[in-house]
Amino acid sequence: MLSTMQDVPLQIRRIMEHGLNRHSTATVDTAEPGGLRTSTFAEIGAGAARLAHALKELGTGDGDRVATFMWNNAEHLEVYLAAPSMGAVLHPLNIRLPGDQVVFIANHAEDTVVVVDNSLLPLFAPLLPRMETVRHVIVNGPGELDAPEGVTVHDYATLLEGRPATYDWPDLDERQAAAMCYTSGTTGDPKGVVYSHRSIYLHTLSLVAPDVFDLSFRDKVLAIVPQFHVLSWGLPYAAFLTGCSLSMPDRFLTPEPLAGFVKASRPNKGAGVPTVWQGLLGYVKATPDADISSLTSAVIGGSACPPVLMDAYDEMGITLLHAWGMTEMSPLGSLARPPRGADADAVRAHRLTQGRFIASVESRLIGPDGSVLPNDGASVGELEVRGPWITASYYRADDPEKFHDGWLRTGDVGHISPDGYLTLTDRAKDVIKSGGEWISSVELENHLMAHPAVAEAAVVGVPDEKWGERPLAAVVLRPGMTADYAELRDFLGGEIARWQLPERWTTVPEIPKTSVGKFDKKVIRNQAAQGLLDIKKI
Amino acid sequence: MLSTMQDVPLQIRRIMEHGLNRHSTATVDTAEPGGLRTSTFAEIGAGAARLAHALKELGTGDGDRVATFMWNNAEHLEVYLAAPSMGAVLHPLNIRLPGDQVVFIANHAEDTVVVVDNSLLPLFAPLLPRMETVRHVIVNGPGELDAPEGVTVHDYATLLEGRPATYDWPDLDERQAAAMCYTSGTTGDPKGVVYSHRSIYLHTLSLVAPDVFDLSFRDKVLAIVPQFHVLSWGLPYAAFLTGCSLSMPDRFLTPEPLAGFVKASRPNKGAGVPTVWQGLLGYVKATPDADISSLTSAVIGGSACPPVLMDAYDEMGITLLHAWGMTEMSPLGSLARPPRGADADAVRAHRLTQGRFIASVESRLIGPDGSVLPNDGASVGELEVRGPWITASYYRADDPEKFHDGWLRTGDVGHISPDGYLTLTDRAKDVIKSGGEWISSVELENHLMAHPAVAEAAVVGVPDEKWGERPLAAVVLRPGMTADYAELRDFLGGEIARWQLPERWTTVPEIPKTSVGKFDKKVIRNQAAQGLLDIKKI
């Protein structure tokens, strides 16, 4: 039996129209040198329509990829609205990736048009000649760019000038591609995820809920998280869906100009990665006339939130809310608001988890033997997720290991409490598989680094005839200290189950790190395999 | 270009599973004589699974209608979850309708099973023999019911006993029917609206938003609006989607027991029609030990909210939020929260409108000449709506006049402000069409009733050779007063445009009313047409 309901496809166009028809006076502040400029939703909607007319004239058709190489600003928002609404595919390029990767991604996605901020031309210009499918570059703001053969360069404002402020947006299949982002995996080529109108619409509806980002037309949100990073966690679309105003910092992400922008724009909520909040904190503490008092809460994600950062913001009356997600998840999976009736200790403990899964995100933990583990807050397994805004594959790239019976393998290991709070403990590749059980390398490392003689420590799995794998502890000693492995082992024994304690120990001058400063355990594993480490067994 | 997203259908089953997997300790309080009983979501989920097993054994298949004849309580919630999740169609019967209509509706929907509260058996028993397709009746609570031939009567608790607490819920097409409700139109037969899994899922996601019902797992919501009235405005599903707890008043809707239930269950939010809030207010004011202080806000809908009621609740620290919708709209269309930055006068003015349209509900105003009117806060037209939870037709009933190019004609007339606030002024059938313009009968009536000589007044359109229609004012004078029509006309002239003032006047002993106390203008129109009224033209 079918329903009698209307068949209205979920489309980004409708999110835009809602913002325009109900919230035309909501605003977007874009940071500028020493100040800001304010655009209304009505102006941004008109800009999106003009851009769509221009893109159409440039030959942009259904499904064509329209890339951006931009900061967070009003014009970037216009591309966010115009490209998907007209049937094209929005593709924000990550300006922070190495040039070779940007070029690889633009070619792999077959981007046809790129909209570039003039402030990013020095970064973009050397890459353009290697972008094989780009035919048009639209520069936002005054600037010079040499066009390679076959490429036409346009000025954003000039291109839009005189065009109609409305556009006859088409009805589209809601499963059609609307936008795409590439993961910046540390191994292998970057891989693309293609979001649909449907997935973005559902993600947006879910993002605004009181237990998630809690967005209302009474809010103004500081979008620190870049628009080139998983669609700014969905904030641009959430703004048009709810009518909340936005504060867009453009390129002013260092503490001083960012603090000045917050003081001028006065957002009450925010979203960004820990490092930016950390930088802002230091500046505000040291600067008497800094004023970020308009902020009441901010979502923090991208990496774990240091407790000390959370405490420092608490003292300023700003609640940091820890969220977890992935590019493959649009990105939102969970967000850490404490449960009803929690006491102060429980509030803090819950706020430091990866958070509670939000509705429409299903989860399961897969144990070392492949079985589904209970959500008992103790059983540790690899996390798999499922839901309408989670990817089922990568764009034109085969990676069957990332998928499992229709679920996405997150590559994260952790446990889930009976009331749905997720705690991640390891990356799956760093877990040590010992006799059908898992040992958390991160847990061992954290406890080891609490020992006064230890400056740094990394634990990796090494092959073991009897157990399959066993932990090898690599420690960096503090100056003047000597290694007493038995003592370190006893020290661990106070916290860790006996069967998980490492028998193999080595001392290294430093722990190898990746370009973003994370432990590069792959290097240690290779050194051990090649017999380059002086390993003692105790 | 298609997206890479997973294809996960939107199903009520997933809403239920989210509630069970993340919020199993959230609660449902059901009012009982002199107290309440508390069920956890886990218990309700287990009940739903047991009920699904039982229904399957009774022969309930895909698309079969499972009706309820129940108050708001935990068992009713179990039927809400079990029936749609197993692929059947939930059909709550409105216990307040005349018996003949209940029978018509049950036969028209071809209900196969009815779950009945034992407290409603006296009302239900005489109707059952006339329900032609019902094969099983399940009685919730101890009670006796004579079974007509071909009908088997079961006890709810006994039927569920010993069955598994989990069920292998099927994957379904999200456009499949999940639930149905009938409108209780004052003219013609009741008409059915069939909601899909998709429409309910999207309505639920939208309902919980901060600008709509604002529901969180930190809330406990008093669901006064009956589950037999447009699915209790979606609260049962919103509870499982967010983890908010529910307070279900069962049959205890009169002020004294309801106040006692609020005192015992301590909800912080609520939803219901004005009359119940009115009754509760009177009781609380008159009863020193009444305590409804746990409440902070409540959604009020179903009919316009009297300003005096809103003010009285404001004084108690309880914000009443006016919402507007229709059975045909699942029901939610708009909700009146004031815009950002409004001053006290603007706050009050906005709170007394029908509210701001919520995302996914599109609107347009159609003027007397069929053109689409602007949302300028002044242009008055008939409201048409469109969206994924709005009906495109009635179930097995042809009513082309209610639909217009894929839009639902609401039958309401009003205006919309540039920022999306809806103000309804008339029912379309009561508007007076004069020379291609519309005159609001309700506006004329309200102003007339402000005159000290007038006890009641109704204004209807009567045929006019030159203008098509012109207003006829029928007034009821206060005792001892005489009619001076010219004076009444001048009195109106202070507020109403000259061309809208009635030339035709009559005095009647009382205004005819419908069974629910509304002015029955059809009767006055007929009396005028038949020359039964003493009409003076001035």
In this structure, what DSSP letter does residue A498 have? G
Nearest-by-Cβ selection for B388 from A5, A21, A408: A5
Say what the pTM is.
0.93
- Spell out the SS3 assignment of B375-415: CCCCCCEEEEEECCCCECCECCECCHHHEECCEEEEEEEEE
Please tell me which residue in B56, B263, B402, B433 is annotated as part of the active site: B433
Nearest-by-Cβ selection for B199 from A3, A14, A195: A3
Residue A35 main-chain phi, psi, to 5 deg: -175, -155
- With a CB cutoff of 8 Å and minimum separation 6, the contacts of A452 are A478
Mean pLDDT computed over every residue of chain A: 95
Q: Averaged over A344-372, what is the pLDDT?
A: 95
Instruction: Find the residue in B nearest to A27 (Cα).
Output: B340
**Contact criterion met (CB < 8 Å) for A210 and B208:** yes
Residue A143 main-chain phi, psi, to 5 deg: 175, 155
**Contact criterion met (CB < 8 Å) for A2 and B388:** no
Share of residues in chain B with pLDDT > 90 (%): 87
- The kind and range of the H/E element at B178 are strand B177-183
**Contact criterion met (CB < 8 Å) for A205 and B209:** yes
Instruction: Find the residue in A nearest to B14 (Cα).
Output: A360
Residues in chain B with CB shorter than 8 Å from the CB of A359 are 15, 18, 22, 205, 241-242
**Contact criterion met (CB < 8 Å) for B7 and A209:** no
Three-class secondary structure of residue A336 per DSSP: coil
Please tell me which residue in B183, B353, B410, B506 is annotated as part of the active site: B183
Q: Per residue in B3-23, pLDDT tens?
A: 999 999 999 999 999 999 999
Q: Pick from A495, A334, A343: which is nearest to A417 by CA?
A: A334
Q: What is the secondary structure of A162-196 as a DSSP string?
A: T--S---PPP--TTBEEEEEEE--SSSS-EEEEEE
C-alpha to C-alpha distance for A512 and A520, rounded to whole angstroms:
5
CB atoms within 10 A of CB A118: 17
Q: Pick from A498, A446, A507, A436: which is nearest to A472 by CA?
A: A507
Burial B483-503 (b: 16+ CB within 10 A, else e): eebeebbebbeeebeeebbbb
User: CA of A21 to nearest chain B CA: how many angstroms apart?
Assistant: 6
Nearest-by-Cβ selection for B5 from A5, A199, A375: A199
**Contact criterion met (CB < 8 Å) for B23 and A420:** yes
Chain centre distance of CA B255: 20
Q: What is the pLDDT of residue A186?
A: 60
CB atoms within 10 A of CB A488: 23
Can you read off the two tokens belonging to residue A422?
């997720």
Q: What is the pLDDT of residue A306?
A: 85
**Contact criterion met (CB < 8 Å) for B205 and A209:** yes
Q: Per residue in B368-401, pLDDT tens?
A: 889 999 999 999 999 999 999 999 999 999 888 9
* A207-211, A514-518, B417-421, B433-437: least confident range: A514-518
Residue B332 main-chain phi, psi, to 5 deg: -80, 130
Nearest-by-Cβ selection for A4 from B2, B359, B393: B393
* A262-266, A299-303, A337-341, B286-290: least confident range: A299-303
Tell me which CATH code domain A432-537 carries. 3.30.300.30
Can you read off the two tokens belonging to residue B147?
């079974």
Mean pLDDT computed over every residue of chain B: 95
**Contact criterion met (CB < 8 Å) for A210 and B198:** no
Q: Per residue in B30-41, pLDDT tens?
A: 999 989 999 999
Q: What is the pLDDT of residue A12?
A: 98
Residue B185 predicted with pLDDT over 70: no
In this structure, what DSSP letter does residue A369 have? T
Distances (CA, A) of A3 to A135, B175, B202, B404, B461: 46, 6, 14, 19, 38
Q: Averaged over A382-400, what is the pLDDT?
A: 96
Q: Averaged over A55-82, what is the pLDDT?
A: 98
**Contact criterion met (CB < 8 Å) for A4 and B394:** yes
Letter for the amino acid at A296? T
Q: Which fold has domain B431-537?
A: GMP Synthetase; Chain A, domain 3 (3.30.300)
- Helix, strand, coil percentages in chain B from 3-state DSSP, rounded to 5: 30, 30, 40
Residues in chain A with CB shorter than 8 Å from the CB of B359 are 15, 18, 22, 205, 241-242
- The kind and range of the H/E element at A424 are strand A421-427
Interface with B, mutate which of A1, A2, A3, A174 (most B CBs under 10 A): A3
**Contact criterion met (CB < 8 Å) for B196 and A357:** no
Q: Assign domain B362-428 to its CATH architecture.
A: Roll (2.30)
Q: What is the pLDDT of residue B79?
A: 98
Tell me which CATH code domain B12-360 carries. 3.40.50.12780
Give me the active site residues of A, please.
183, 328, 433, 438
Query: How crowded is the C-beta side of B205, counted as CA atoms within 13 Å?
Result: 26
β-strand B372-373 against B381-386: which pairing, if any? unpaired
Q: Which residue has the tokens 């400056």?
A: A455
Nearest-by-Cβ selection for A8 from B1, B193, B388: B388
Q: Per residue in B250-276, pLDDT tens?
A: 999 999 999 999 999 999 999 999 989
Q: Where in chain A is the domain with CATH 2.30.38.10?
A: 361-430
Instruction: Tell me which of 3.40.50.300, 3.40.50.12780, 3.60.150.10, 3.30.1280.10 is the CATH number of domain A13-360.
Output: 3.40.50.12780
**Contact criterion met (CB < 8 Å) for B211 and A217:** yes
Contact B105, B59 (CB under 8 A): no
Three-class secondary structure of residue A231 per DSSP: helix
Any bridge partners for residue A463, and if so which? A469
Q: Where in chain B is the domain with CATH 3.30.300.30?
A: 431-537
User: CA of A418 to nearest chain B CA: how many angstroms apart?
Assistant: 7
Contact B41, B24 (CB under 8 A): yes
Can you read off the two tokens belonging to residue A507?
């001392």
The ipTM of this complex is: 0.93
Residue A319 — very low, low, confident or very high, per pLDDT cuts 50/70/90? very high
Please tell me which residue in B71, B277, B324, B438 is annotated as part of the active site: B438
User: CA of A416 to nearest chain B CA: how many angstroms apart?
Assistant: 10
Any bridge partners for residue A115, and if so which? A68, A138
Q: Averaged over A349-365, what is the pLDDT?
A: 97
User: CA of A380 to nearest chain B CA: how many angstroms apart?
Assistant: 17
Residue A443 — very low, low, confident or very high, per pLDDT cuts 50/70/90? confident
C-alpha to C-alpha distance for B156 and B163, rounded to whole angstroms:
12
β-strand A269-272 against A319-325: which pairing, if any? unpaired
**Contact criterion met (CB < 8 Å) for A8 and B195:** no
C-alpha to C-alpha distance for A232 and A234, rounded to whole angstroms:
5
Residue A438 main-chain phi, psi, to 5 deg: -110, 140
Residue A391 — very low, low, confident or very high, per pLDDT cuts 50/70/90? very high
Letter for the amino acid at B426? D
Residues in chain A with CB shorter than 8 Å from the CB of B18 are 357, 359-360
C-alpha to C-alpha distance for B309 and A365, rounded to whole angstroms:
52
Instruction: Find the residue in B nearest to A14 (Cα).
Output: B360
Q: Where in chain B is the domain with CATH 2.30.38.10?
A: 362-428
Residue A318 — very low, low, confident or very high, per pLDDT cuts 50/70/90? very high
Q: Which fold has domain A361-430?
A: Luciferase; domain 3 (2.30.38)
**Contact criterion met (CB < 8 Å) for A387 and B419:** no
Letter for the amino acid at A385? V
Can you read off the two tokens belonging to residue A502?
């490492």
β-strand B504-507 against B35-40: which pairing, if any? unpaired
- The kind and range of the H/E element at B441 are helix B441-448
* Structure-model confidence comparison of residues A220 and B447, the more confident one: A220
C-alpha to C-alpha distance for A457 and B411, rounded to whole angstroms:
72
Please tell me which residue in B78, B328, B384, B445 is annotated as part of the active site: B328
Can you read off the two tokens belonging to residue A234?
């969905």
Any bridge partners for residue B49, and if so which? none
B328 given a catalytic annotation? yes
Any bridge partners for residue A223, and if so which? A271
Instruction: Find the residue in B nearest to A389 (Cα).
Output: B5
Residues in chain B with CB shorter than 8 Å from the CB of A181 are none
Residue B439 predicted with pLDDT over 80: yes
Q: What is the pLDDT of residue B184?
A: 75
B161 given a catalytic annotation? no
**Contact criterion met (CB < 8 Å) for A23 and B419:** yes
Can you read off the two tokens belonging to residue A329?
């998840």
β-strand B27-32 against B403-404: which pairing, if any? unpaired
User: CA of B137 to nearest chain A CA: how many angstroms apart?
Assistant: 22
Nearest-by-Cβ selection for A391 from B1, B5, B387: B5
**Contact criterion met (CB < 8 Å) for A206 and B205:** yes
Q: What is the pLDDT of residue B494?
A: 86
Q: What is the secondary structure of B150-164 as a DSSP string?
A: T-EEEEHHHHHTT--
Contact B456, B488 (CB under 8 A): no
- With a CB cutoff of 8 Å and minimum separation 6, the contacts of A45 are A16, A19, A20, A24, A81, A165
User: CA of B226 to nearest chain A CA: how many angstroms apart?
Assistant: 22
C-alpha to C-alpha distance for B74 and A314, rounded to whole angstroms:
40
Residue A396 main-chain phi, psi, to 5 deg: 45, 45
Residue A187 predicted with pLDDT over 70: no
Residues in chain A with CB shorter than 8 Å from the CB of B198 are 3, 5
- Helix, strand, coil percentages in chain A from 3-state DSSP, rounded to 5: 30, 30, 40
Q: Pick from B495, B496, B501: which is nearest to B537 by CA?
A: B501
Q: Which residue has the tokens 């109704």?
A: B458
Residues in chain A with CB shorter than 8 Å from the CB of B208 are 209-210
| Burial (Cβ within 10 Å: 0-12, 13-18, ≥19) of residue B376 | exposed
Distances (CA, A) of A204 to A11, A389, B198, B530: 11, 10, 16, 58
Q: Which long-range contacts (CB under 8 A, 24 or more apart) does B159-162 make?
A: B159/B51, B159/B54, B160/B47, B160/B50, B160/B51, B160/B54
Q: What is the secondary structure of A242-300 as a DSSP string?
A: HT-EEEE-TT--SHHHHHHHHHHH--SEEEE-HHHHHHHHHHHHH-TT---TT--EEEE
| Sequence-ordered alpha helix ranges (H) in B154-306 | 156-160, 197-207, 235-242, 255-265, 274-286
C-alpha to C-alpha distance for B471 and B433, rounded to whole angstroms:
9
B324 given a catalytic annotation? no
Q: Pick from B236, B228, B233, B278: which is nearest to B254 by CA?
A: B278
C-alpha to C-alpha distance for A153 and A135, rounded to whole angstroms:
9
Q: Pick from A520, A452, A503, A462: which is nearest to A482 by CA?
A: A452
C-alpha to C-alpha distance for A89 and A103, rounded to whole angstroms:
18
